[in-house]
Amino acid sequence: MKLSIYSIVLFFGFSSLCFSQEDVEKAAPPAGNALVGDFYGADISGAVVSKAVSVEKLEAELKSAQKAEGIAVKGEVTDVCKKRGCWITLKTEDGSSFFVKMKDYAFFVPTTLKGKNVVLQGNAERKVTSVDELKHYAKDAKKTKAEIDAINLPKEEVRFLADGIKIVN
């Protein structure tokens, strides 16, 4: 009787250990050279590319409105999430960040996108980003501990939720 009870406990213990293992493979940004014409997420038509506005023009529009939906923006990529390729930042004239996330994390971009000119299509809004969220993105960008610890104030910024990103000249 004791042997059967011990066997049952051992069986359940072993089976729960087997099924509780996590997948240790870490997600990585997609591979690729990010060439002109490549797109990530929804493809962006030539007509939309030609109507894309600059980051500065979008920021000016968002001073009078909180949101801009279904807009196309063009700019140069200054940073890419090194962990998964799940966000990018674009260059602005005044040096502030223009942060772009992918809608529903439905697609990611390669780190080779850094330095390329892109057109984004999606929705933009002016938002206050919390300190915790800013620190999370700093960790994703592999900033130093000192840089992460220096983040102590929320930041108002333009956020873009991209349906698609296309590399252009």
Percent of the chain with pLDDT over 90: 61
Residue 15 has what pLDDT? Answer: 64
What's the pLDDT at 3? 72
The span from the CA of 67 to the CA of 90, in Å, is: 18
**Neighbour count for residue 83 (Cβ, 10 Å):** 18
Helix, strand, coil share (%) of the chain residues, nearest 5: 30, 35, 35
pLDDT-based confidence at 24, cuts 50/70/90? very low
Does the pLDDT at position 42 exceed 70? yes
Residues β-bridged to residue 53 = 73
Report domain extents, the chain.
Answer: 27-168
Could you give the CA distance from residue 61 to residue 128 in angstroms, rounded to a whole number?
17
The one-letter amino acid at 104: D
Tens of pLDDT, residue by residue over 50-104, are 999 999 999 889 888 989 999 999 999 999 999 899 999 999 877 777 899 999 9
Rounded Cα distance, 139 and 155, in Å: 17
Tokens of residue 94, six digits = 């005044």
List the beta bridge partners of residue 121.
72, 164
Measured in whole angstroms, the distance separating CA 160 from the mean position of its chain's CA atoms is 10
Cα 167 to chain centroid distance, Å, stands at 16
**Rounded mean pLDDT of the chain?**
87
Task: State the Cα angle at 32 between 31 and 33, rounded to 5°.
Answer: 145
What CATH number was assigned to the domain covering residues 27-168?
2.40.50
Which of 12-16, 99-103, 105-109, 151-155 is predicted least confidently?
Answer: 12-16
Mean pLDDT check: name the lowest of 15-24, 43-52, 128-137: 15-24
